[in-house]
Structure 1
Amino acid sequence: MGCTATDVIGALQAGAAAVSAHRDELIQLDRVIGDADHGENMDRGFRAVVSKLDTAVPETPGAVLKQVATTLISTVGGASGPLYGTAFLRAAAAVGDAPELDGPAVAAALQAGLDGVVARGKAVAGDKTMVDALIPAVDAAKAAAADGAGPARVLEVAAQAAHSGAQATEPLVARKGRASYLGERSAGHVDPGARSTALLLSAFVESRSV
């Protein structure tokens, strides 16, 4: 069964709820190695996404993703808005006007999102950023899709890999963003962007068996 626009909206609503529930955790993670605004910014952005989707419902998954992108870019401060906005915008372009997304389409959307984040933020694996969660997520998603998995399984393995990737940022020394100013002191803390990436992907999975 393919993933429709309604499914994507449900996933995003679940994502917004997860961000809200973990807002204080994300603030605390960012307080020790950043500006302490990641949780607040993400919560504000995804609240705006849900509000927008309540008033205007796009007809295709790609249109939903594009609306999310423009909303995040206009409402989320700091680095998160442009990075997440670019990720969703690239994902929207990757899926085009398809009425439903199958497993390979979901994997392609994740790959496009990762490419957008890398292009925008210039981060690579090991820099202690959201890229460290996205790279393993994309690799797992593509492998599952190649084996014939549907959207639900593709997202499930992506979320699992993202959580592992986010946790693996803890011992790293940051090489990008505000955290990089701390040098060795940035080690010992999970990157907040990697953590929010993993939270969102898990919420997308749990919203329903897409």
Structure 2
Amino acid sequence: MYYAADFRNFLNIVTETMEREKDYLCELDRKLGDGDHGVTMSIGWQAIKKELAKQEELDCSKLAILAGKTFLEAVGSSVGPLYATGFLRGAKVIKGKEVLNDADLTAFWLAFMGGVKERGQAEVGDKTMIDTLEPARIALEHAFSESGNFEEAFRVAVVAAEAGMISTIDLLSKRGRSSRLGDRSLGNQDPGATSAYLILTNFLVSLPESVLE
């Protein structure tokens, strides 16, 4: 079983990770864009942490709504609407549930990742966060249908996400500012794909014993 306190813990862990990896994400972005992706993610997640501190315990759906709306308000770049859509789509499928089971957690992440892809309209191979999220979504859906165990399925999804993230090194940028670089975008890992992977792996490591049992 997964509770609101667990989701709150996950959000705070991501905030810590984005702060720790801020310079690394900016370094990746300097090779492909304007070099501020780490700062952008830090601002968005710090805003979520600050808003969480003001709120009494909410259910997971309301926490996801809070995260999405807060991130969007704090981050003006294109990544803002993408993650906001992900959180809001995820919130919709778990609405009204105080406690989440394995099927609920799977539904949340399938909706989250599908929402980001639909909003951004990028495809695998475009050298974006979708190269991380779409393989993870497909892997999660397939693995959960086979096992019915969220933790096992999400581990498979994170492995697929990592492979997708790494694959961006050898891709040409086809979206956004980095698409102007042409062949110069080769050999560099996409920062958006990297931060998306960090979010997924943070959720995995934050899973409570009540889910792992």
Give the TM-score category using the shorter length.
over 0.9
Aligned 8 A contact 2:90 2:108 in 1: yes
Contact 2:114 2:137 in 1 (8 A): no
What is the CA distance between 1:124 and its match in structure 2?
A: 0.8
What is aligned with 2:40?
Answer: 41
* Structure 1 partner of 2:3: 4
Give the aligned residue type for 1:163. Answer: E
**Contact 1:128/1:169 (<8 A) preserved:** yes
Counterparts in 2 of 1:76 and 1:121: CA distance versus 1, 3 Å: same
Decide whether the 8 Å contact of 2:110 with 2:137 is kept in 1: yes
Deviation of the 1:208 alpha carbon: 3.7
Tell me which residue corresponds to 1:186. 185
Change (3 A) 1:57 1:168: farther
Q: Give TM-score scaled by structure 1 length.
A: 0.93
CA contact (8 A) 2:28 2:190 kept: yes
Aligned-partner SS, 2:170: coil
Deviates more, 1:129-138 or 1:154-163: 154-163
CA contact (8 A) 2:87 2:112 kept: yes
Question: 1:174 Cα shift?
Answer: 1.0
Give ranges in structure 2 of 5+ residues lacking alignment: none
Superposition pairs of residues 26-37 of structure 1, within 5 angstroms: 26-37=25-36
**1:106–1:154 CA contact under 8 A, matched in 2:** no
Determine helix, strand or coil for the equivalent of 1:100: coil
Q: Mind listing any 5+ residue stretches in structure 1 that lack a counterpart?
A: none
Equivalent position of 1:87 in the other structure: 86
Distance 2:56 2:182 in 1: 45
Larger deviation, residues 158-167 vs 25-34: 158-167
1:128-171 Cα distance to aligned partner (Å, 9 max, x none): 11011001111221123223444433333222221111011110
Please provide the CA RMSD for this pair.
1.5
Specify whether residues 170 and 201 from structure 1 end up closer, same or farther in structure 2 by C-alpha distance, changes over 3 A only.
same
Distance 2:6 2:150 in 1: 11
The CA distance in 2 between the partners of 1:58 and 1:175, in whole Å, is 42
Q: Distance in 1 between matches of 2:137 and 2:30?
A: 28
TM-score w.r.t. the length of structure 2 is 0.92
In the alignment, the residues of structure 1 paired with residue 21 and residue 195 of structure 2 have an alpha-carbon distance, to the nearest angstrom, of 9
Instruction: Give the letter aligned to residue 7 of structure 1.
Output: D
Residue 99 of structure 1 and its aligned partner are, at CA, apart by: 1.6
Post-superposition Cα deviations, 1:169-194, rounded to whole Å, max 9, x if no partner, equal 11000111111111111111111111
Q: Could you tell which deviates more after superposition, 65-74 or 44-53?
A: 44-53
Partner of 2:197: 198
Give every structure 1 segment of 4 or more consecutive aligned residues whose post-TM-superposition deviation is greater than 4 Å: none
